[in-house]
Amino acid sequence: MMKHPTFAISLRKTMLMAVVVLLAMGACKSKKKAVEPAPAPVVKEEVVKPTPAPAPVVRSAEEVAVEKLESQFASIASSSNATSANQSIQEVLAMFSNPEIPILIVIHEEGGVKDYDEPTTIKKYLEYLKDTKKNLNYISDIRMAGGKVTELELKRK
């Protein structure tokens, strides 16, 4: 018969004992938690701070120019007589660096590729608005330098 070393048996007994003790300790903790009442929730008073007034919207020079040009284009197209249309044309031309600034009119766009109508100048476009009395385009891109419009791109409405 083969003898087991006493050290191996006592190690097994010690390990078994340790597992039993750990399980017993874990059971005691869970009972203790179940018996203790839950702490009362802390009620925090919320301090209501007045919301600051929204910051004033700062518009860029391009945004202001687009708004003014759109208004002037509509005014020229709906003008009742040639004199008032010519006066509006002069006001618009003052916003451009010169009356020969190119105006590009997008007639079709697909996949980021734009097809343009025949290029024209701002002077010719304003005369076209006055003659046809139709404002069929809106400003899609504007370039400015020194407070004056240097390039304008329009799209069909």
- Considering the domain boundaries, does residue 46 fall inside one? no
- Considering the domain boundaries, does residue 123 fall inside one? yes
- Considering the domain boundaries, does residue 11 fall inside one? no
Given a contact cutoff of 8 angstroms between Cβ atoms, the answer to whether 148 and 97 are in contact is yes
Q: What is the pTM of this model?
A: 0.63
- Considering the domain boundaries, does residue 34 fall inside one? no
**pLDDT tens, residue by residue, 83-139:** 999 999 999 999 999 999 999 999 999 998 999 999 899 999 999 999 999 999 999
Given a contact cutoff of 8 angstroms between Cβ atoms, the answer to whether 150 and 143 are in contact is yes
- Considering the domain boundaries, does residue 65 fall inside one? yes
Q: How many domains does the chain have?
A: 1
Closest CA to 128 of 93, 156, 89: 89
Which are the contacts of 85, defined by CB distance < 8 A and separation ≥ 6? 76, 79, 130
- Considering the domain boundaries, does residue 38 fall inside one? no
**pLDDT tens, residue by residue, 43-86:** 666 667 777 777 777 888 899 999 999 999 999 999 999 999 99
- Considering the domain boundaries, does residue 111 fall inside one? yes
Q: Take residue 125 and report the two structure tokens written for it.
A: 């476009």
**Residue range of the domain that includes 129:** 61-156
Rounded-to-integer distance, Cα 155 and Cα 3, Å? 100
Kindly write down the DSSP assignment for every residue of 54-99, as one continuous string: PPPPPPPHHHHHHHHHHHHHHHHHT-SSHHHHHHHHHHHHTTBS-T
